[in-house]
A = this chain, B = another copy of it.
């Protein structure tokens, strides 16, 4: 009987390993041999496959509660056959050698293109291969799914942290601005989530979304008003904030931020502008990867759906329904919000990018609509207890599974 291969691709999230747990436990329940590519596609190319059948049930459950990518990930992608025939040949040999019948690829929109090509690869090389995509990205930019696992937990972390710090910021007699820079280079889902940091009845943080060209006069007017009203102002800015001509503000000022777009810089650039234009001190927080690793603020809904997607992907692949990504569809029932899983053709999601819809962005361009609040709120529900050991989170990792011979 063939083997099922699980593969993590792209940046980790706080619940990526929950999907891995779902995959492994479902495969075991079906009596299917299961392995994972070490460090994603890079490891698969090299034939470095981890034998998960040797791992204890307790280790698999523990892995599922850890941030990061338990088996390693990479940003390696598969090129079309015409551009990399040798690479396809090499992959086909690995898949044949290890008798892989199903590939479950857990990743974002770029990874779904790799999944689509892997399905083609199976057909081209006459392998009995079913490839199923499991969505994952904190950016929430995958098309066709209500949300992508990883996003709700990152949103919960950002909104919670900003809510806490708002009490700090407004404690000081002196006027002050606090700026939090979020990830999301091309889409504003993470920045928009910061709007929910506001306590009931309070002004929401000002949002600078990548979907809205930076309008400095409008922002300065809004900041002046907040300072006049309350003596402080909280702003959430996307690392991908752009000028009207489309250039990233961080990119424009690359020298000043050391030429590392991925380091962010939009927040510090903005702080400088506010200092220059309003003479107000601004504090800047740049949480970077903390926002996708914050296991201690995971959303229970996120963790549950990540697990279900992993489980269902096994059933879908074993049923011979390859070439699809499983998507979440929102169901409003008497018991509240729930999600239904349904397959979408990989071609419908691969390499596409879902921006924040226009009806989620308020007319002032600096806030979100009630429709966005109604969208996000159900995703933040519930907490996942985190075990502490000797005062700090217990994140001990099980031993790395052995490679398949």
Contact = CB atoms under 8 A, between A and B. Distances in A.
Interface string A80-96: 00000000000000000
Given A12-B171, A268-B257, A296-B160, A196 B392 contact: yes
> Oligomeric state, in number of copies?
2
Contacts of A42: 173
A383 B296 CA distance: 12
A165 interface: yes
Contacts of A164: 67, 290, 293-296, 393, 395
A287 B301 CA distance: 26
A287 B286 CA distance: 6
- Taking residues whose C-beta sits less than 8 angstroms from the other chain, chain A's interface range is 35 or more
Nearest to A71: B171
A275 B197 CA distance: 35
Interface in A265-301: 268-269, 271-272, 275, 281-290, 292-297, 299
Contacts of A292: 168
A376 B164 CA distance: 24
A167 B395 contact: yes
A377 B388 CA distance: 13
Nearest to A284: B263
A197 B391 CA distance: 11
A391 B271 CA distance: 30
Contact of A396 (B8, B173, B200, B396): B200
A295 B162 CA distance: 11
A243 interface: no
A69 interface: yes
Contacts of A72: 171-173
A112 B216 CA distance: 42
Interface in A143-186: 156, 159-161, 163-165, 167-174, 178
Given A168-B289, A174-B75, A284-B288, A263 B271 contact: yes
Interface in A57-89: 66-70, 72-76
A289 to B, nearest CB: 5
A165 B293 contact: yes
Contacts of A271: 258, 260, 263
A85 to B, nearest CB: 23
Interface of A: 8, 11-12, 39-40, 42-43, 66-70, 72-76, 156, 159-161, 163-165, 167-174, 178, 196-197, 199-200, 255-260, 262-264, 268-269, 271-272, 275, 281-290, 292-297, 299, 377, 379-383, 388, 390-393, 395-397
Given A156-B392, A161-B290, A260-B272, 9 more contacts: A68-B168, A73-B172, A160-B296, A163-B395, A164-B393, A165-B293, A260-B271, A263-B271, A381-B391
